[in-house]
Structure 1
Amino acid sequence: MAKQPDQKKVAKAKATAKPAAPKSAVPKPAVPKSAASPAKVGKPRGLGRGLSSLLGDAGVAAATGTAMGRGTGMSQNATQATPSPLPAEPISGLTELPIEWINSGPWQPRRRFDKTRLSELADSIRAKGLVQPILVRPQEGASNRYQLIAGERRWRAAQMAQLHVVPAIIREMSDGEAHELALIENIQRADLSAIEEAEGYRQLIESFNHTQEQLSEIVGKSRSHIANLLRLLTLPEPVATMVVQGELTMGQVRPLVGHPDSVALARQIAAKGLSARQVEALVKSGKSGKSGSPAAAPKTADIIGIERTLADRLGLAVDLNWDEARRSGKLVMRFTDLDQFEVVYERLLKD
């Protein structure tokens, strides 16, 4: 027979025992992973990641996805009456703004917008909507007015596509933050010319005291790349304009930096379609005096005017070389594809 417990001892034990605290009474605080081990302190990277630095990767992805749906809807309703969007507050999400409420920002580094590419983008927006939202900030002292920070090509193309509203992310930011972000966002685009990119770097250095090394970290490009681009800003304006207009590349004009005849050489390079290596050889032979022929005399204003007139009429790069002593010369027209050649060919036969 099992021995029964002493009832007096059991009662005494219950009386002296401490009551257990409920498990939910004092919850144990969770320690975030970031607090468990102190993060290493590094150099501030500024606004180098563009929109990602403002929204976070998830925010950008969500905003882009939402914009895709809204953009498609807007594309289909482009010819209808302007919708009445909700009041746009400076919030962290995505909204729709009437396109006429938005003004271009003053910090755009682009000198020109390619009309053909804008037209292609407008066609895409008509078909599929505006996939990526623009970034704006409320305009100080104005009701229902916003200043464009990032996305001017999309905004211009949306106007060409006759959209009434566009997806936008609204942010409150200072003039300095807006200026810096606008420059960095544009620099990270692949379709800027070398001169436009260099001007963006110069503004970041002069306005925000960035070093070339800091810029390298911010935009994710090598320091040598930035240094080489900044040297291009010493080129004469006619040469810089040829780069902006796509007639010459960075590789073609880099050997011309500091050359006394850079303008004449640039026109020769464009007319003959010389490669970067051929340009380097040409400049080297000219500096060392190994060239078999004397240097060409500077072109007169009349010759330059004729070149420009012919270039405008034909749509081609034109190089006119005139030898005053011999009263003779050579006219070179450079075409980049067969379509351009056919246009010139037909005009010559017609005339």
Structure 2
Amino acid sequence: MSTKKREKVGDNIEFVIPPARPRTPDAVPSPAPQPAAKTGVGYTTAAIFNTNALRGKTEELQREVDGLKARTQELESDRGAQLLDAAQIVPSRWANRADASFSDQEFLALKAEIQDAGGNVQPIMVRPIEGEGNRFELVFGHRRHRACLDLGLPVLSVIKPLDDRELFAHMERENRNRKNLSPFEQGKMYRRALDEGLFPSMRALAADIGRGSTDVSEAIRIAELPQPVLDAFPSPNEIQFRWAKALADACQRDAVGVKARAHELRAERLPAAAVFKALTGVQDRRGARRSFTQERQLTLGDGRHAVIRNDGKRVVVELDPSLLPSERWEAFEEMLLRFVG
């Protein structure tokens, strides 16, 4: 039996445990990259756009606020409205409505509406007449007042003391914002205000009512046309702003001839554009006009007329065919030869 000591399985095996590693802190995520600050042109442009947008929004809101304030003031005035006898109210001496404005279809429709409602829902404005007790002068609302007067109804009115220039400005702006006055009606109103010294000049009048001086001038031109010319149109209210200069120029060139032609046209009852063309020789188209340097109407007796027209290139004589039958052409030629010879 061997005496050698048997080694057990597993003897002489050494286990070495490595030293514990120092624990490292959890990794901190890197911050996300930030966009570089805008500099130079890019930053300036963005700032301008943002500023302009903000300014535009501010102005829009301010306009809304101003509009609400104006409407609030209007409503407050309306609450103070009272019913007045229409017969106690007289038109302003600067009344700007032509007679035709109280007989057209729009007025008849307004009158029917007021009759159905039992009165005017939208008040008119009047001012007290000093020293005349319960009498008032119209500021604006002439058509509503006339409708109530015709219907025998009291008229809902706001009473407001105003001086002459305040009255004029109120009247002009109110009527222009509601049913536009015709150029003729505007011209009559402006001419009267200047004649009565309400304004020192046409320019001052235009500035006070917020109109361009050209508009005021053209309106006055129309109002100052000779009465026969105004009567040739179906209504002077149909004369347009853009016709003012051509009509005034035609009257200045040949006042007698234009008036004679106007008398003839009145009986023909032509549309306004046709009357304008007949009186001026100007084609009624924007940007395309044909003008004659001179035109003269000749009265030959017994209701017969002739027209001599000079367009700068030739002179044209227009005769009724009955005045120059073909058998008389030779005699007419001989007469012309003697005339020009």
Aligned residue in 2 for 1:231: 221
Q: How big is each residue's C-alpha offset from its partner over 1:71-102, in whole Å with a ceiling of 9 and x where there is no partner?
A: xxxxxxxxxxxxxxxxxxxxxx3222233332
Moved more, 154-163 or 238-247: 238-247
Alignment CA distance shift 1:130-1:300 (3 Å): farther
Aligned residue in 1 for 2:230: 240
Aligned residue in 1 for 2:115: 126
Whole-Å Cα distance in 2 between the matches of residues 237 and 160 of structure 1? Answer: 29
Mapped contact 1:195–1:240 kept (Cα < 8 A): no
Aligned residue in 2 for 1:94: 81
Matches within 5 A, 1:207-222: 207-222=197-212
Mapped contact 2:281–2:292 kept (Cα < 8 A): no
Whole-Å Cα distance in 1 between the matches of residues 90 and 216 of structure 2? Answer: 30
Residue 181 of structure 1 and its aligned partner are, at CA, apart by 4.1
Whole-Å Cα distance in 2 between the matches of residues 107 and 158 of structure 1? Answer: 20
Mapped contact 1:102–1:147 kept (Cα < 8 A): yes
Asked if 1:153 corresponds to 2:143, the answer is yes
Mapped contact 2:172–2:209 kept (Cα < 8 A): no
Q: May I ask how many residue pairs the two structures share in their alignment?
A: 225
Aligned residue in 1 for 2:298: 297
Aligned residue in 2 for 1:348: none
Higher relative contact order, structure no. (Cα contacts within 8 Å, ≥ 6 residues apart) = 1
Q: For 1:286, what is the secondary structure of its paired residue? A: coil
**What is the aligned-residue RMSD (CA, Å)?**
4.0
Alignment CA distance shift 1:105-1:216 (3 Å): closer
Alignment CA distance shift 1:133-1:212 (3 Å): same
Asked if 1:201 corresponds to 2:203, the answer is no
Asked if 1:274 corresponds to 2:274, the answer is yes
Whole-Å Cα distance in 1 between the matches of residues 169 and 302 of structure 2? Answer: 41
Residue 103 of structure 1 and its aligned partner are, at CA, apart by 2.6
Aligned residue in 2 for 1:325: 323
Aligned residue in 2 for 1:263: 259
Residue 185 of structure 2 aligns to which amino acid in structure 1?
A: E
TM-score using structure 1 length: 0.51
Whole-Å Cα distance in 1 between the matches of residues 236 and 249 of structure 2? Answer: 21
Alignment CA distance shift 1:247-1:176 (3 Å): closer
Aligned residue in 2 for 1:287: 293
Q: Which entry has the higher C-alpha Rg, 1 or 2?
A: 2
Whole-Å Cα distance in 2 between the matches of residues 120 and 299 of structure 1? Answer: 47
Alignment CA distance shift 1:322-1:109 (3 Å): farther
Residue 151 of structure 1 and its aligned partner are, at CA, apart by 1.1
Q: Which ranges in structure 2 are unaligned for 5 or more consecutive residues?
A: 1-65, 306-318, 326-341
Aligned residue in 2 for 1:89: none
Matches within 5 A, 1:116-195: 116=104, 117-128=106-117, 129-163=119-153, 165-175=154-164, 177-178=166-167, 181-182=170-171, 185-186=174-175, 190-195=179-184
Aligned residue in 2 for 1:106: 93
Mapped contact 2:87–2:149 kept (Cα < 8 A): no
Aligned residue in 2 for 1:61: 75
Moved more, 119-128 or 55-64: 55-64
Q: How big is each residue's C-alpha offset from its partner over 1:50-88, in whole Å with a ceiling of 9 and x where there is no partner?
A: xx9xx9542213445x5xxxxxxxxxxxxxxxxxxxxxx
Aligned residue in 1 for 2:51: none
Q: Which ranges in structure 1 are unaligned for 5 or more consecutive residues?
A: 1-51, 67-92, 289-293, 305-320, 328-351
Alignment CA distance shift 1:264-1:58 (3 Å): farther
Mapped contact 1:63–1:94 kept (Cα < 8 A): yes
Residue 252 of structure 1 and its aligned partner are, at CA, apart by 4.1
Q: For 1:96, what is the secondary structure of its paired residue? A: strand
Whole-Å Cα distance in 2 between the matches of residues 140 and 274 of structure 1? Answer: 48
Residue 279 of structure 1 and its aligned partner are, at CA, apart by 4.4
Aligned residue in 2 for 1:21: none
Q: How big is each residue's C-alpha offset from its partner over 1:83-133, in whole Å with a ceiling of 9 and x where there is no partner?
A: xxxxxxxxxx32222333323332212231331333211111122341221
Whole-Å Cα distance in 2 between the matches of residues 153 and 199 of structure 1? Answer: 17
Residue 131 of structure 2 aligns to which amino acid in structure 1?
A: G
Q: How big is each residue's C-alpha offset from its partner over 1:188-242, in whole Å with a ceiling of 9 and x where there is no partner?
A: 5544332221122223334223544444443333332222222334421111344
Mapped contact 2:81–2:158 kept (Cα < 8 A): yes
Mapped contact 2:218–2:241 kept (Cα < 8 A): no
The share of aligned pairs that are identical, in percent, is 22
Alignment CA distance shift 1:298-1:199 (3 Å): farther
Whole-Å Cα distance in 2 between the matches of residues 111 and 222 of structure 1? Answer: 23
TM-score using structure 2 length: 0.52
